[in-house]
Amino acid sequence: MTSILGLSAFYHDSAACLVVDGDIVAAAQEERFSRKKHDERFPKLAVEYCLSEAGLTPDQLDFVAFYDKPLLKFDRLLETYLGFAPRGFVSFVKAMPIWLKDKLYLPRTMRRELPGYKKRFVFTEHHESHAASAFFPSPFERAAVLTVDGVGEWATASIGIGEGNRLRLTHEMHFPHSPGLLYSAFTYFCGFKVNSGEYKLMGLAPYGEPKYADLIREKLIDLKDDGSFRMDQSYFNYCQGLTMTSAKFDRLFGGPPRQPETPLTQREMDLAASVQVVTEEILLRMSRHVAAVTGEKKLCLAGGVALNCVANGRILREGPFEDLWIQPAAGDAGGALGAALFVWHQLLGRSRHTSTTRQQVVAANEPLAGASGWCGDSQHGSLLGPRCDEADIKAFLDAKGAKYLHFDNEDELCNHVANLIATENVVGWMQGRMEFGPRALGSRSILGDARSPQMQSAMNVRIKFRESFRPFAPSVLEERVVEFFETRPHEQSPYMLLVANVRDSKRTQRSADTPKLTGIDKLKELRSCIPAVTHVDNSARIQTVDAERHGRYYRLLKAFEAQTGSPVVINTSFNVRGEPIVLNHEHAYRCFLATNMDALVLERFVLLKKDQPNATEQTLETYLKEFALD
C-alpha cells in the first residue's frame, strides 16, 4: 500500500488530500473545520480528518507532497520587489514575516505538524498541481490541459497534454501578466474581496452592459490570438503596493474604487459585464490555441479562473473541443489533490484507468447513471469529506431537546422532504460525505422550490443574508436537463461548473409594451417557469443530479418530480454570508436556528423550526458576528 498526503497552505484555501494506491480517499479544506473562510493556515484539522478516514498516522505515510515550490515563488517575490524598488517597500515588509516564519522553511514546518513522519517531501510546481488535478481524475485517456489562475511561482496560465499516466506542460504565460489578476483587479475595484468575491463579480455582470470592454482591450491589455496578453502595469498596483489598481486606473474608469458594502451603481455593473466579456474572449482564444497545438478533442481545466462557469459554458458551446472536464476544486485547495496524484502517476509511474467514455455509453443507448454505473471520472462526485453518524446526530439532538421525526424508510423520508420543498419551505439538507471544493452539491445544501417567484429574493435576504443580486443554481435530474436548459443530450454538469441558458420553451414571453428594466431592477422581471434559478440574462449555473453519484439527493429530486412534475430545485450552499459551508450536524443545527430556515434534514432526521422549543437559542445577530463579511 502506498499512501500520499497532498497539501496546499499559506496563501488561501488551504487543504489536505489523501491518495492511497491511486484512489482519492479523502480531501477537505481547512476552513470547514476552523470556521475561518478561505483559511490559509497549515491544514492541521483537514490532515487529521484525511488520515483518520484511512486509519493512518503520519509515520505510515509514504510521501507528503506540497502544491508549489516556495523557493521559486520567493524568487519571483524578490525579483518583483527589486524591479519596483523603492515603491514596493511597504508591501515587502508586510510579506516578509510569514515567509521567514513558515514559507521558506516548509519542510521544518511540515515535520512539526506531522509528528513521526520521517520520509521525503515532494514539491510540485503550482501549475503542475493544477494540471494534475485536472487531468488525472478526469474520464479521458488523452486530453489537452489548460490551467489559468492569478499566479503560481511565475506561471499564470499553462497548457499541455495528458495521456494515460503522464502529463506534460509545454507553454506558460508569466507574471505579472495574468487573467486571474486582471479579473481580481476589477473584483477589488468594484468593492469585493480579492480571492473571495470574484464569483460575485461574475454574478453581477448580467446586470450591466460591457461598455468598457473596448477600453480594457485598448488600454489595459495587449491581447494576442493565442489568448496570451501583456498588461500595462501603470494601471495596476499589485506588484508593488497593497491594492490591486492604481490612480491611473481610477481616472480611466471615472473615479476611485467602490467602498465595500456601499450601494452598487451602474458603473460597477458595467465594469463587471466588461471584464467578464474580455475574460471569456481570453479563455476562448486560449482554448482554440490549445486545440491547435495539441490536436486533442477533449479539454481538462483547473486553476481559480476555471471556476468562472460562464466562460466554461462558452468554451463548451463555442470552443473546438468535443468534451470538457473541470476539476471541482479548481482553485488552490485542489492543488493538494493534484500534488498527491502527480506523485502517484508522474513520479512513481503508476498506471491510470479511465472509465467508459460518454460516447461509448451513449452509442450503446445506455443510461448515463444508475444501471450502467457510469460516473465518468475518479473524483467520487467530489464527496470526499467527513460524514456524520446517525447515532451521534440523535445523541446531539436529544441533548439539545430538539423535536424531530426519524424516518426508517428512505422513500418516506424523500417524499416528506419533497412535500416541504413543494410547499415553499426552505430546507437545510445535510447528507453523507461533505463536498470538496467551493460548491454545495447536495450534501451540505439549502434547498428551495425553483418554481417560486419569491424564493430567490427570500433565500438571499432571509436565509443567506447576502447581496440580493446574486443568483441561485438549479439542481436538475440529469435525464431531464435537456428539457429545461440549452445543453446537449446526455450533458453532465455534476459539479455546478457550467452555465447554460434556460430553453425558450420554459421562458416567460415579454409583451411588446413591457418596459425594459435595467440594473438591479432586472430582478423584478419574471423570466421562466423556474424563476428562482433563472438569472437576469436567462442563464443558470447547472448541477445535473444522477443516481450513481448523488444517491439520496437524486431520490429526493425524483420524489419532488413525482409530486410536482418539476425536476428542478434550488441548491445553494449550507451557510450564511461569510461562513464556510457547514461541516457537521452541530454546524447545521446552529445555522438552522439562527436563520429563517423552515426545516432541517440531518441524514434521516427531520426538524421543523416551528416545533423547536429552543428556536431562539441562537440569535441571528450573534451568529452573523462570528463570520467576517466576504
- The pTM is what? 0.94
Q: Parallel, antiparallel, or unpaired for β 444-449 and 539-545?
A: unpaired
> 396: domain range?
390-507+523-625
**Domain at 595, CATH number:** 3.90.870.20
In whole angstroms, give the CA distance from residue 117 to residue 5.
11
pLDDT reported for residue 372: 29
| Distance set, CA 152 to CA 78, 93, 357, 594 (Å) | 14, 21, 32, 39
| Distance set, CA 551 to CA 360, 474, 565 (Å) | 24, 17, 20
Report residue 477: phi and psi, to 5°: -60, 130
Q: Parallel, antiparallel, or unpaired for β 427-430 and 539-545?
A: unpaired
How many domains in the chain? 1
CA atoms within 13 A on the CB side of 553: 34
In whole angstroms, give the CA distance from residue 608 to residue 617.
15
Question: Would you call 430 helix, strand, or coil by DSSP?
Answer: strand
Are 17 and 24 in contact by the 8 Å Cβ rule? The answer is yes
Q: Identify the DSSP state of 537.
A: T
In a domain, residue 143? The reply is: no
In a domain, residue 113? The reply is: no
Contacts of 243 (CB under 8 A, 6+ apart): 188, 237, 257
Closest CA to 247 of 258, 231, 235: 235
Q: In what order do the strands lie in the sheet with 121-123?
A: 23-29, 15-20, 3-8, 63-66, 121-123
Closest CA to 269 of 333, 211, 341: 211
| Distance set, CA 318 to CA 218, 311, 441, 544 (Å) | 24, 10, 26, 21
pLDDT means over runs of 10, the chain (630 residues):
97 96 98 97 98 98 97 89 77 78 87 96 98 98 98 97 97 97 98 95 97 98 98 95 95 97 96 98 98 97 98 96 97 98 97 63 41 66 98 98 97 98 97 97 98 89 87 96 91 96 92 78 89 96 96 98 98 96 98 95 98 80 88
pLDDT reported for residue 461: 83
In whole angstroms, give the CA distance from residue 301 to residue 207.
27
In a domain, residue 418? The reply is: yes
With cell 430553453, the residue in question is 503
Q: Parallel, antiparallel, or unpaired for β 155-163 and 166-174?
A: antiparallel
Longest dimension (CA), the chain: 74
In a domain, residue 183? The reply is: no
In whole angstroms, give the CA distance from residue 121 to residue 28.
20
Supply the Cα-derived Rg of the chain in whole angstroms: 24
H or E stretch including 421?
helix 410-422
Give DSSP secondary structure letters for 313-371.
HHHHHHSS-SEEEE-TT-SHHHHHHHHHHIIIIIIT-----PPPPHHHHHHTT--SSGG
Per-residue pLDDT tens digits for 506-542: 999 877 677 788 888 888 888 999 999 999 999 999 9
With cell 497545438, the residue in question is 293
Contacts of 184 (CB under 8 A, 6+ apart): 150, 194, 195, 198, 244
AA letter at 258: R
Q: Parallel, antiparallel, or unpaired for β 142-148 and 298-302?
A: parallel
Instruction: Report CA dihedral (343, 345, 348, 351) to the nearest 10 degrees.
Output: 160
In a domain, residue 444? The reply is: yes
| Distance set, CA 56 to CA 25, 50, 258, 409 (Å) | 12, 9, 49, 35
Q: Parallel, antiparallel, or unpaired for β 539-545 and 323-326?
A: unpaired
In a domain, residue 67? The reply is: no
In a domain, residue 400? The reply is: yes
